[in-house]
């Protein structure tokens, strides 16, 4: 009985340690190298890394992450520059000290600064679950196959990705900073893989949280009326 109790304590201590490591990473991190800008987002077991140069989109990759023994483990779901990486697992030594995240990469040590801690009303990784039709009724959306669209929000940053891990396809991504206050959700686009001319634009929508769902309505970038419902990705 005593041995079982000790084993349980060890397992609990290990679990809390791993949880603390993952929590320390939560949120948005940034690193600048001359005119090259790196975004690194961790939220709800998802990790996205994107690079831009001035307004030009360079690349983005990401997937599901966990931490163990000082290593960041990422199961790659997409890679815009090299589809053969999809399905691989990255193991990157890391440390977090004084709001700095140090990663030991193949290119050498890289240090990111924290942009936010991943805490906000909308913080999470979302998938669209419904859309209002012209007749005013909500139609459920069920993605089939392995195609996936995610929208990751940290405390102040956002990024959406459209991918198909089963086919190792990357369809597009965009992101930047956002605010959500008094029922108004506003995005400021800082990178966009499909159209660099959109960088610098701001889009505002009505938004509310209702029963764990995010209701998102307004006009799309093309001027079309939208009313979408998003749920947390699992």
Model pLDDT for residues 123-135, shown as the tens digit of each residue: 999 999 999 888 8
Question: Is pLDDT of 34 > 70?
Answer: yes
Contact 41, 26 (CB under 8 A): no
Q: Which DSSP symbol is given to 88?
A: -
3 state SS of 121: coil
CA 142 to chain centre: 21
Q: How would residue 10 be classed by pLDDT, with cut points 50, 70 and 90?
A: very low
Helix (H) or strand (E) holding 63, with range, is strand 56-68
Q: How would residue 23 be classed by pLDDT, with cut points 50, 70 and 90?
A: low
How, if at all, do strands 89-97 and 184-192 pair? unpaired
Close Cβ partners of 96 (under 8 Å, ≥ 6 residues apart)? 24, 25, 102
Domain boundaries, the chain: 2-116, 124-232
Mean pLDDT computed over every residue of the chain: 89
Please name the fold of domain 2-116.
Answer: Lipocalin (2.40.128)
Q: How much of the chain, in percent, has pLDDT values that exceed 70?
A: 90
Question: Is pLDDT of 106 > 60?
Answer: yes
Q: What is the CATH number of domain 124-232?
A: 2.40.128.280
């Amino acid at each position: 009985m005593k041995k079982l109790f000790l084993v349980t304590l060890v397992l609990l201590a290990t679990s809390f340690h791993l949880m603390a490591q993952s929590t320390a990473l939560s949120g948005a991190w940034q690193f600048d190298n001359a005119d090259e800008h790196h975004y690194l987002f961790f939220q709800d077991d998802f990790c996205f890394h994107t690079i831009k140069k001035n307004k030009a989109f360079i690349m983005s990759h990401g997937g599901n992450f966990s931490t163990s023994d000082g290593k960041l483990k990422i199961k790659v779901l997409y890679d815009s520059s090299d589809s053969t990486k999809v399905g691989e697992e990255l193991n990157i030594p890391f440390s977090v000290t004084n709001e700095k995240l140090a990663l030991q990469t193949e290119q050498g040590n890289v240090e990111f600064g924290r942009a936010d801690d991943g805490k906000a009303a909308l913080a999470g990784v979302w998938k669209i679950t419904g859309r209002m039709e012209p007749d005013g009724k909500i139609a459920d959306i069920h993605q089939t196959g392995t195609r996936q669209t995610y929208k990751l929000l940290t405390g102040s940053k956002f990024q959406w990705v459209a991918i198909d891990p089963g086919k190792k396809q990357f369809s597009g991504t965009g992101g930047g900073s956002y605010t959500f206050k008094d029922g108004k959700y506003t995005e400021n686009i800082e990178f966009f893989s499909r159209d660099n001319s959109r960088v610098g634009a701001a889009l505002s929508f009505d938004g509310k949280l209702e029963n764990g769902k995010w209701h998102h309505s307004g006009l799309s970038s093309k001027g079309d009326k939208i009313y979408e419902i998003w749920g947390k990705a699992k």
